[in-house]
Amino acid sequence: MVEMAIAMSLLFMLTLGFVDFGYAFFQWNAATKAVQVGARLASVSDPVATALTNAAPTTTPGAPVIAGAYGPFACTYSGGTGSCSNSGNFNATAFSRIFRGDTANTANDACPALTANQRPGMCHFFPGLKRNNVVVTYVATGLGYQTRLGGPVPTITVSLQNMTYQFFFLGAFGFGSMTMPSMLSTVTGEDLKSTSP
């Protein structure tokens, strides 16, 4: 009975560990899909950094916009307030569209249910995702030309920050604060707009 108790304890812990690591792998896959969806939505939506629209130089109409000509604008939420680096005013509606898709723009981390013909946002692919975890960055990488009617063509990166794995059982053994590896998705900006592509 003693041997059985020891063996069953070890097998029980091993089984629960497999369950938790399987769930961690699911979270990693869900987070990866969320940043891909976020980057795609950001490429066809109004920019979160409102200063991006007029950020490119205009001294030589038709000349290429060289890499590093503006930005980068990194937009994040912190404590319920959004902000962008380089004086890029924060467009909360555009951020909400990336985070929530076509669902209602709410002032919290809620992820409303989708109805017919609505595009999902990042939160629909990764339940439990918070706005504070999402970073949207716009960078000039040599695309577009000066005085382009649609504005500059940035390279857009959507990434996650400060994410930890959620464990059911391994948290009791010190794995509760295991940081999720950095993940991001980068796409080329298109005609940034709020209407459907």
Please provide the DSSP assignment of 51-117 as one string. Answer: GGGGTS--SSTTSB--TTSS--EEEEEETTEEEESTT--B-HHHHHHHHHBTS---SSS--PPP-TT
193: in domain = no
For the chain, the C-alpha Rg in angstroms (whole number) is 21
46: in domain = yes
Q: How high is the pLDDT of residue 193?
A: 55
157: in domain = yes
Q: How high is the pLDDT of residue 181?
A: 85
At residue 41, the 3 state secondary structure works out as helix
Q: How high is the pLDDT of residue 24?
A: 86
Q: How high is the pLDDT of residue 192?
A: 55
176: in domain = yes
Q: How high is the pLDDT of residue 39?
A: 95
144 touches 106 (CB < 8 A): no
Q: How high is the pLDDT of residue 195?
A: 44
196: in domain = no
194: in domain = no
- pLDDT tens, per residue, the chain with 197 residues: 888 888 888 888 888 888 888 888 899 999 999 999 999 999 988 899 998 888 899 899 989 999 999 989 999 998 778 999 988 789 999 999 999 998 877 778 888 888 888 999 999 999 889 999 999 999 998 888 898 887 888 999 999 998 888 887 877 777 777 888 888 999 988 755 544 44
195: in domain = no
- How far, CA to CA in Å, does 188 sit from each of 38, 39, 65, 90, 172? 13, 9, 14, 20, 43
* Cα–Cα distance measured from residue 181 to residue 183, given in angstroms and rounded to the nearest whole number: 6
At residue 135, the 3 state secondary structure works out as strand
Q: Which of 129, 189, 191 is nearest to 159 (CA)?
A: 129
| Number of folded domains that form the chain | 1
54: in domain = yes
Q: How high is the pLDDT of residue 136?
A: 96
How many H helices and E strands in the chain? 3, 5
Domain of 166, in residue numbers:
2-188
* Cα–Cα distance measured from residue 133 to residue 113, given in angstroms and rounded to the nearest whole number: 20
Q: How many CB atoms within 10 Å of residue 89?
A: 14
